[in-house]
Chain A
Amino acid sequence: MASVRPLQQLLIEPVATLIEELSRLPGIGPKTASRLTFHLLRSSETQSQALAQAIINVKDQVTWCTRCFNIAMSDLCPICADSTRDQSRIVVVEEPLDVLAVERTEVYRGLYHVLHGHIAPLEGIYREHLRIAELLQRLQTEPVEEVILATNPNTEGEATAYLLLKDLAPWGIRVTRLARGLPTGGDLEWADAETLGSALQGRREIA
């Protein structure tokens, strides 16, 4: 059976290195990595340079917002930097993509907090791996009146919301959860704007 590994010894080093780097990406095996590499070899100089530059820019210029951990170009993300946004509400989400999903609904004008994951003991992900301490820190310094838990409507998302609820209980602030109606077991980022918007508006108090 043909395998990629013995072939690699025949490849000149830059080619082998690119294949190796590409195959580290999620969802890309050695075969796809080889195909992409040879595609790039054949493509024009400007095209490859644009790709390389885009990758470098992402790492150079994009960072995590120091306040909400959304993607940002400077200390604060555009949302945190916008003083016209309602400073008394925080929507808590699992991933930066979820921020975009909520923004698309156009019904929310408050702030966010990105946890960067959810509780998943089977994958070794616990509370200390999420930005939970940073959220509690914000409650001390910001005039927060309501925290809206918008973790995904699946087991891991519910487990995360449950833990956050316990953490938030002593603070005496309003804690709400998105209304049911989002497809259960699904991800926020795939919900359509209208459904997510009404789940947000119909959020219910849990503490």
Chain B
Amino acid sequence: MHILNLSLRHFRNYEQLEFTPGPGVSLIYGNNASGKTSLLEALFYLATTRSPRTTNDRELVNWHAREEAVAPPFARIAADVQQVSGYIKIEVLIQLRSQEQHENSGGGSQKLVRLNQRVVRALDLIGQLRVVLFTPDDLTLVDGAPSNRRRYLDMTLSQLDPHYVRTLSRYNKLVQTRNAMLRAWRERRRTLRSVDEELAYWDDEMITAGGYVLAERLQAVADVNTLIKPIFQANTGEAQELHIAYRPSFDFAGMTEAHHLVEQFRQTLQQRRSEELKRGQTLVGPQRDDLLFTVGNVDLGRYGSRGQQRSVALALKLAEVELMRMRSGDAPILLLDDVLSELDLQRRKYTLEAIRHPHQQTIVSSTDLGTFDGDFLSAVDRWRVEQGRVYRG
């Protein structure tokens, strides 16, 4: 798929923007804080209904819009998307709430989502536009906390499978509910008399949703493992293969059918009940899982060189592109935010070749045109970004 047009209003430092990238590679360049990252952020937001940079949507609304008497202040992100199967229009309106609404609802903003001009729920937008975003922060995929790696799987699967995003959201709420119950018992705010009886409903629901999430993640890791090997080999020249292992919070002896996972999940939960009551927290389930990256039995998260870790992060993102292309029959849009300057010559050359793939829309941001050779520069669309405006050339 590719976007034909991105339209921004009062978004970050963009007062108003109409951006019309071609179906291939677009290079957007400019100084720091000129608005390059915000442009990629807007596309990521349209794909996932959240920002990769902040959990507070208020920050996305342009300050000028807040000072003017535009009531209520808003930011608008819209795009026309050409999918393999057809053409869609998507739009998100982020409206700041007034002080009073804010006090009543506890939220600082609300979003209105439209798909082909019809109002839909935010969850219904996810997966309509698919993107893979790669930023310098993505090194944390390899050397950071496990939550970074879970988010990688969740973001990928959510964009591919509408049922996954709904099940995951339900699962997370069930875990929170269960945690609230366990905490109340731990703090002796409630009698421990009917623990099993009261947990039964929530356990059943959580296990069913969690079993689905886990089964989908395991399948995704198996697919990514196949896709990532040649990518990693080509961009590092390493003789040994990269392997990704899924580290579950309970043992399921390699039997990955959903019903088996559900059964193992249930048994483990029962075994650890007293421990959960002591800690006041759910201790089992996909919210505690992790990924392990190894080359020849070496854990790259812990012992890999900086260069190896960068290669793993890059390979993960390129494999994500391939996974989306394979599963949906439609390539996602690849967004590379200022990452090429951090790669060494070989990896940069590999990446630039990989993205110049027909039917692969890619938007590359950079502060420095010197990162690219003349060959590349003459083959791509160039856009200069300056203080929230974008000029061709």
Contact = CB atoms under 8 A, between A and B. Distances in A.
A30 B99 CA distance: 10
B104 A158 contact: no
Contact of A29 (B101, B178, B201, B205): B101
Interface residues of B, number: 20
Given A29-B103, A121-B177, A122-B177, A166 B190 contact: no
Contacts of A1: 99
Contacts, number: 45
A133 B184 CA distance: 21
Q: How large is the interface on A (under 10, 10 to 19, 20 to 34, 35 or more residues)?
A: 20 to 34
B194 to A, nearest CB: 8
Contacts of B369: none
Nearest to A33: B100
B180 A122 contact: yes
Interface class of chain B by DSSP: helix
B368 interface: no
A121 B183 CA distance: 10
A43 B177 CA distance: 47
A205 B178 CA distance: 28
A128 B205 CA distance: 22
B70 interface: no
Contacts of B205: 155
A16 interface: no
Given A122-B176, A124-B180, A162 B201 contact: yes
Interface of A: 1, 3, 27-32, 121-122, 124, 126-128, 155, 158-159, 162-163, 166
24 contacts: A3-B99, A28-B104, A29-B99, A29-B101, A30-B103, A31-B99, A121-B177, A121-B178, A121-B181, A121-B184, A122-B177, A122-B180, A124-B180, A124-B184, A126-B181, A126-B198, A127-B194, A128-B190, A155-B205, A158-B201, A159-B202, A162-B201, A166-B197, A166-B200
Given A1-B99, A122-B177, 8 more contacts: A27-B104, A30-B100, A32-B100, A121-B180, A122-B176, A122-B180, A159-B202, A166-B197
